[in-house]
Chain A
Amino acid sequence: MSFVVEMLRIRKEFPGIVANDDITLQVKQGEIHALLGENGAGKSTLMSILFGLYQPDGGEIRIRGKQVEISNPNVANDLGIGMVHQHFKLVHNFTITENIILGIEPKRGLVVDKKAASAKIRELSEKYGLNVDPDAKIEDVSVGMQQRVEILKMLYRNADVLIFDEPTSVLTPQEIQELMKIMRNLIAEGKSIILITHKLKEIKAIADRCTVIRRGRLIGTVDVAETSEARMAEMMVGREVNFQVVKAPAKPGKVVLAVENLSVLNNRKVLGLKDFSLEVRAGEIVGVAGVDGNGQVELVEAITGMRRAESGKIMLNGKDITEASVRSRIKAGIAHIPEDRHKHGLILDYSMEDNIALKVYDEPPYSSRGLLNRNEIRRYAQTVIEEFDVRSGQGAISVARSLSGGNQQKAIVGRELAQNPELLIAVQPTRGLDVGAIEYIHRRLVEQRDKGKAVLLVSLELDEILSVSDRIAVINNGELVGIVQADETDENEIGLMMAGVKRGDIR
């Protein structure tokens, strides 16, 4: 029996919470070991301990049978442990080579020998099928490519235990397939992998064994091949999980959002959205399906007012809001679950209560005549936190930064739904959530619809689009390919449309 990594009876406390309570994790040489647990279960914390970012309050770590103390990431590096964080740590205006050698620059005399480095990187890239151009700048490459750079960073440092913290939650379905292939190559070369993911399908597809934790405690380690998805989900949340979204047929009412011939510039100052028209009615969920970067961002930001419309019109409940400010659109009843929770969704240095009040702080009873009413804000935040089961060490006064990724997301969803908006724009609303929380959020979206509100759902996950939406608008290259009824279509048809094939052409 050869374990490369053994974390035995690990304990870690944060103010108000025990993040890891006596957790044992043993990873065999050459396996892909999945780490599964609900949001806030303590997965990232456990991995941060292994990578030397946190020190455990108890327990011991053995690497290849030898007891070690990993006091900082450099020690982890020396032990051959590498980690890809959920939020990449790359310098955007550096080239890929420069990013990879940062901190361990190879020198020839006094100058950095970039040539040698980039040759080595090219070699590694070929060996593992990473397909990375060492001379490209980070700001010019896709998220999937950035992740491969992070992988290269580990390989360049000769890591042979690779930790991936939710690598797939930022990837498109195509990129996920590629990543899985890369992982298999890595295993074939004798590496061991610890994989954190909330997607049971991925665990089924690629992992050998799976360790499940719940609320900081170890539930057990299972063989993936012998365990059903449903069983793993149950171990994780402690109850049965319903994967099917249950909903009655939609009863669409009046038009709430009307987008007419909308054209919007993208960041490169060319039209990212072209002549786009779409209606969302009260009491229906319209899904927007498309490959990442095909105009979804431009559409959403134009509707919410964060980006100017070049031409065209946006109407909310019959009123023209094309030129309206972000604030007035919020007050008119538009809520928005943003795609990037750290960039737009949260002020990480604010407490949870201040974050939850972000859209209402300027109205009574949360403030009056310019003065904040702290008591009301706290009460409001507490109801949202309770309703959406946002878990943290210190409740409303926890700093947003200290929450686990999934709980940050739940707080944002809670904040937006608590406004009871006329129109909810949900972009990847379940990104990074565990299956239990996904089930809950989906139910809330349907509930919102059944209350007679309009919902626009933008997601890269076809499963989510197909199971939650009533109608599906497919977008390609900034243009509307077509609109189909969710119950009259399937993955294949949507897939073809996403590639730009019009519906008429299919039949």
Chain B
Amino acid sequence: MKMELNKEYVLALIAVVLGLLAGAILMMLTGNNPLQGYYFLIRGGLMSIERVGNTLATATPLIFTGLAVAFAFRTGLFNIGAAGQMLAGGLCATAIGLSFAWPKVILLPTAVLGALIAGALWGFVPGYLKSRFNVHEVVSSIMMNWIAYWTVYYVVPGYFKGPYLETESRKITEAASLKVAWLTKMFSGSYINLGFFLAVLAVIVIAFILNKTTLGYELKAVGFNRHAAEYAGIRSNRNIVISMMISGALAGLGGAAFYIGYASNIQIGVMPSQGFDGIAVSLLGANSPWGVFFAAVFFGLLHSGKGFMNAMTNIPPEIADSIIATIIYFAATSILIERCWDRLKKYLRGAK
């Protein structure tokens, strides 16, 4: 088991390296110096404490959605509805934040909890439909994405619209925000917020559930072999619902981290891309909680560094997106990489 995991990490690293190489080639093709490009990309993400904070802040929602996808995947489900669950969570958190004038110690936890519950609810529906009527979760969770999208479209202008714009909600107050002064100050004015710590906590909790609890044992058993799980008396239908709810709750928290942490209001007509990026994060992270964490931070680095790279060189920021896409591509075709790797190992062994 250990060995297997290590191999997956190696494969992920190879995918990253190959992606970076492909990016280098692209930079060269556009007539730029790749070393310089990467230098500024990395500097853009890490050169100051503020930028480090921004990198982590960008990574935060990705950690949540990556975890959501990975968790569902480990239990045999494909949760493509993280975007909708994020929206549901974000809307709920924003609504709570805008509706009550409680002190921060009460209001903020309530908003976060609301996001968690709303996300779980959004996960519950596809889970229930699958367990009860065998509706494939991919279909129903995509539908839930659009339900969330239009719910925001209706609710925000109807109840929480801002003073000038119809298309976004009012700004939440400081009391409902995951941004806190001491943290912002510590990172000299960065976007980083409490969401990041929540994300780290979530990684730890999910790793714990998967590896140490009977619930994790059952969920993974259902994911690997539903028939054998049922033979052993594990109720796979119930487990499917639980798994989708936990997955949805994680994405819902991601919504809180994004809408009341990174941002301070919610817009209509936008499906958060982090929901889908979560799939890539999960893939690159080999579906393991800590793998997801590092993959998300890496993507966060690319996202937050690309602006600086663009400013300092002639390299278009889209190169960073291409790198991400290439990495995803290599991670998804890791079987091929694995084959080459095995062959290389054999070759080396034969040579010595």
Interface residues in chain A, defined as those with a beta carbon under 8 Å from any beta carbon in chain B: 15, 55, 304-306, 325-330, 336, 338, 343-351, 354, 358-359, 361-362, 367, 370-372, 397, 399
Contact = CB atoms under 8 A, between A and B. Distances in A.
B228 interface: yes
A306 B3 CA distance: 35
Interface of B: 1, 3-4, 212-215, 217, 220-221, 224-225, 227-235, 346
A350 B212 CA distance: 14
Contact of A371 (B1, B212, B224, B225): B212
A15 B2 CA distance: 13
Contacts of B215: 370
7 contacts: A55-B346, A306-B231, A327-B235, A354-B217, A359-B232, A362-B214, A370-B215
A166 to B, nearest CB: 21
Given A326-B233, A358-B232, 6 more contacts: A15-B3, A326-B230, A336-B231, A343-B228, A346-B225, A348-B225
Contact of A349 (B3, B217, B224): B224
CB-based closest 10 A-B pairs: A327-B233, A326-B233, A344-B231, A358-B232, A349-B224, A347-B225, A347-B224, A367-B214, A343-B227, A347-B228
A370 B213 contact: yes
B214 A370 contact: yes
A351 B235 CA distance: 21
B123 to A, nearest CB: 21
Contact of A399 (B1, B234, B346): B1
Interface of chain B: mostly helix, strand, loop or mixed: helix
A325 B214 contact: no
A361 B225 CA distance: 17
Contacts of A55: 346
B42 to A, nearest CB: 37
B350 to A, nearest CB: 10
A345 B231 contact: yes
Given A343-B228, A350-B224, A371 B233 contact: no
Contacts of A347: 221, 224-225, 228-229
A326 B4 CA distance: 33
A327 B218 CA distance: 13
A330 B214 contact: no
A372 B217 contact: yes
Contacts of A371: 212-214
Contacts of B230: 306, 326
A177 B32 CA distance: 73
Contacts of A346: 225, 228
Nearest to A343: B227
A419 to B, nearest CB: 12
Contacts of A367: 214
Given A372-B212, A399-B1, A348 B224 contact: yes
Contacts of A329: 233
A329 B3 CA distance: 37
A338 B228 CA distance: 10
B222 to A, nearest CB: 9
Contacts of B346: 55
Nearest to A328: B233
A326 B232 CA distance: 7
A346 B229 CA distance: 9
Contacts of A330: 232-233
A132 B126 CA distance: 43
B231 A326 contact: yes
Contacts of B227: 343-344
A55 B212 CA distance: 37
A338 B233 CA distance: 13
A351 B1 contact: yes
A346 B220 CA distance: 13
Contacts of B217: 354, 361, 372
Contacts of B3: 15
A367 B213 CA distance: 8
Nearest to B342: A55
Contacts of A370: 213-215
A314 B65 CA distance: 47
Contacts of A15: 3
A349 to B, nearest CB: 5
Nearest to A351: B1
Query: B1, B224, B228, B229: which has the most chain A beta carbons within 10 Å?
Result: B228
A372 B214 contact: yes
Contacts of A305: 233
